[in-house]
Amino acid sequence: MFHSVDLPDLLALSQNAARRAGELALAHFNPGSKTSAGINFKEGGSPVTEADLAVDRFLKQHLGEVRPDFGWLSEETADSPERMNHQRIWIVDPIDGTKSFARGDQDWTIAIALVDQGQPVLGCVYAPTTQDMFSAIAGHGAFLNGTRLSGGTSKTLDGARVVGPRPLVDALSKHHQGFLRTERVHSLALRLSRIAQGWADAGVAETNAHDWDIAAAHVILNEAGLVLHTREQTVPAYNRPTTRHSAIAGGPLHLVTPLTDMLQRINLDRIAVEDGTATP
């Protein structure tokens, strides 16, 4: 693992890069209306805008110049197995929540994680529209704009605020009707970070979350005293041959355990069809 003195400098680098990248993205963002950036569609139908690609290029250059010895994995850079030759790797989502960005909604972010030997040790999730910066270093706590985070206070799933895609939350409610639903947050990185903030008590995501969707928020959750588990009740690992993860739940262990148990009992493929999307 890193010597402890390295990570604060790398976090400062990441936060500065995220803010500058946010300025690039905001130049194409139109609140409440369609982006001025050109939009194309990737295989599978998910959108990618010129802003996604511009942010990706900037982050790769800015972070790579400082630490060229680190590997690179980004949603908008063609993947290469060469990344697995690196012990340490940047994992980046240039714009997490591209659909929201493209239609002028507020809930999109820039997510940057540093992974060491498969585990996230640094993360920042930046929301340019609100200038909210979530950040964490392994062993040093999680913060929102400098204020330490400690998650929600719900002791049981009854009355807990659960955030996630509506079809998935609807399916979970058939197994447990006592929790409260919150509005969906389309950026998964932001959804998980808001659990660390205490805005929601726990959250879920469908199958198809990738490393870049969750790595930065994962360390933020951990440092707020929370966990992120797959439906198989394992801890996600990163920089593997596949970047894809099964359905996940985040929050305090006493809420995540029953949620992952319920995730095992529902048909996630059918829910993805009902949701009209293959995204988490």
DSSP, residue by residue, 15-73 = HHHHHHHHHHHHTT--TTS--SS-EEE-TTS-EEEHHHHHHHHHHHHHHHHH-TTSEEE
Task: Give the CATH H-level superfamily of domain 6-146.
Answer: Fructose-1,6-Bisphosphatase, subunit A, domain 1 (3.30.540.10)
Question: What is the separation, in whole angstroms, between the first and last Cα of the chain?
Answer: 30
Question: The CATH number of 161-275 is which of 3.30.300.30, 3.30.43.10, 3.40.50.12780, 3.40.190.80?
Answer: 3.40.190.80
- What residues does each domain of the chain span? 6-146, 161-275
What is Dmax (Cα atoms) for the chain?
A: 51
Residue whose entry in the numeric block shows the structure tokens 């006493």: 254
pTM: 0.94
DSSP secondary structure code for residue 126 in this structure: E
**Predicted confidence pLDDT, tens digits, the chain (280 residues):** 445 558 999 999 999 999 999 999 999 999 999 999 999 988 777 899 999 999 999 999 999 999 999 999 999 999 999 999 999 999 999 999 999 999 999 999 999 999 999 999 999 999 999 999 999 999 999 999 999 999 888 999 999 999 999 999 999 999 988 999 998 899 999 999 999 999 999 999 998 899 999 999 999 999 999 999 999 999 999 999 999 999 999 999 999 999 999 999 998 876 764 554 545 7
